[in-house]
Chains A and B, each alone.
Chain A
Amino acid sequence: MTSVSFTGTAFGRAEVRSKNDQLSIALMPYRVVTCFLLASLLWKSRFIPGIFTGYLELKLNDPFFPNLFSNPYSLATLFLTPVTFGFIALFIRNRLALRFQAITTLACMFGLCIHQGSYNDVTFVTCFWVSAWCVWYSFRLDDPVEILMAKASFFGVLIISLIFLGGALGKWTPGYWSGQVIYDIYFVERDFWFFNLLRANLGTEALRDFATCYSRMVVLSETACSFLWLLNPKTASIIALAMFLGITLFSNVLLFSVTLCLIGLAIVGLQQPAPGNRPLTLPVSSAIDESSAPAQASQK
């Protein structure tokens, strides 16, 4: 029997939809995020063949790592499996298969976070958290679309806030506040258009002063962005997008492997209707009644 639901998000105008249509709408954010997760991994992929052959040529025997997590073949498997499954996930609608894909991707990302050849790469940490969102989403595909979108946006922004929090608090140290760390890493010799431009136009003293301002701006903006989850998801997503693009375009385009998957999460947040029309900003009692009604109906 075909059940119906009332949807009114940016993914579909308010109208009566069949359950199949509802799944189509619900799958759109999942596919967007999966696409960006794949983009992150593919941005990184150009380094993988060189790294793989390097590891094959010379084994680094460190007793700290178990053999499984220092083996180059396990590194290749952990990287290629989520890429392959991600492409497949863009074309399937089976809930069980999507859950399997999401859980496998999460497990592989965790594996990459602890493998000797990839543990230091933040790409796999951000992909891990985006995969956690995907696992959650794959288990809630049958939720009423309005509720699902509201939760998806909120959790997306919550994860983005967590990433910023992790980056910010480790920078609450004198080296970052004085700008010395950023100056040494980026301003002295980094071959990138922004730093080349600054070196060409500023003297040593002015460059050092600029590095201090730049570093403090990074610390303060990352700290502020760790509170994004307190904002309306749409506003928070716009700020997050500006931050990710700013970080990447003004410091290192290689960081797209870190930020692209998070940009995918922020795009989901953009799909929220403007403040005032959101289902979750309705008066409390009516929103509870409306949100619980479809769940009760499906239970019957």
Chain B
Amino acid sequence: MKRREKNLIFLARTAKIPALRRWQSTMFILLNQIWKTKDIASAMLLLFVGCVALWIMALPLNRTVQESYLRRFHLASANFAVWAIQQPVPAMYNFENRIWASRTAATAEELDHALCAIPNTRPSVASNDLATNVETDPVNHFPTRAFTFGRTRSFLKQNPSWYYYLRSRYRDLEIRSAFKISPVSESEVLVNRLEVTID
């Protein structure tokens, strides 16, 4: 019996917990089988999943990763390629995200006031008639969906001038973005990024 196989048996038998021993045995045999049969497809899938898992697990620990995640949610990555490579990373219902929508530029006080005055309105982007100048709503992920998502195009077509203020928060880190949507023609609107701040 080869030394490596002896080591595998030893490790599998040293586990005290039966379930752990079974799992160790399964994992070692699986990895050994992949190695022995030169199963490149399995090795690549394992590597891919492992790299993405490491990236996700770095989220609570590393500020750079947190910034990268938050910038991704606000379409504020360094460039499209940097943003695109992160897109397959699962991030459903991540962070505390909120949007504010307004027909005119809003001040910080107005945004705060909207939060206090109407804490739980429906998404303002789904309505042509705002009750007040600024309305706000929480969203599950990707707050930029407020103006990029399919349903909102019909509202944008009727009222093409909008200001969107977005905020995403992960623990003590917060990103704020402001966008202005302005008409170019009857069939086109332009997205202008007014500011992105992260602190």
A-side interface residues toward B, CB under 8 Å? 47, 50-51, 54-55, 57-66, 69, 110, 113-114, 116-117, 119-120, 122, 125-126, 128-129, 132-133, 135-136, 139-140, 143, 147, 150-151, 154-155, 158-159, 162-163, 165-167, 169-176, 180-181, 184-185, 188-189, 230-232, 258, 275, 278, 280-281, 283-285, 287-288, 291-292, 295
Interchain CA distance A151-B95 in the complex, whole Å: 34
Measured CB to CB, the nearest residue on chain A to B13 is A284
Give the residue of B5, B26, B49, B75 whose beta carbon is less than 8 angstroms from that of A162.
B49
Interchain CA distance A110-B84 in the complex, whole Å: 9
Measured CB to CB, the nearest residue on chain B to A159 is B49
Q: Per-residue 0/1 for B7-28: is the Cβ within 8 Å of any A Cβ (1 yes, 0 no)?
A: 0110010000000001101101
Q: In the bound complex, do residue A284 and residue B120 qualify as a contact, i.e. CB atoms below 8 Å apart?
A: no
Give the residue of B45, B151, B170 whose beta carbon is less than 8 angstroms from that of A136.
B45
B94 is an interface residue with CB less than 8 A from chain A: yes
For residue A117, which residues in chain B have a CB less than 8 angstroms away from its CB? 148-150
Give the residue of B9, B46, B56, B169 whose beta carbon is less than 8 angstroms from that of A173.
B169
Measured CB to CB, the nearest residue on chain A to B23 is A230
Q: Is the interface of A mostly helix, strand, loop or mixed?
A: helix
For residue A116, which residues in chain B have a CB less than 8 angstroms away from its CB? 148
Measured CB to CB, the nearest residue on chain B to A255 is B92
Report if A169-B59 is in contact (Cβ < 8 Å); known contacts: A120-B149, A174-B171.
Answer: yes
- Number of residues of chain B lying within 8 A (CB) of chain A: 74
Q: In the bound complex, do residue B90 and residue A175 qualify as a contact, i.e. CB atoms below 8 Å apart?
A: no
Report if A281-B39 is in contact (Cβ < 8 Å); known contacts: A50-B150, A126-B90.
Answer: no
Give the residue of B52, B75, B169 whose beta carbon is less than 8 angstroms from that of A64.
B75
Give the residue of B59, B154, B187 whose beta carbon is less than 8 angstroms from that of A59.
B187
Q: In the bound complex, do residue B39 and residue A140 qualify as a contact, i.e. CB atoms below 8 Å apart?
A: yes
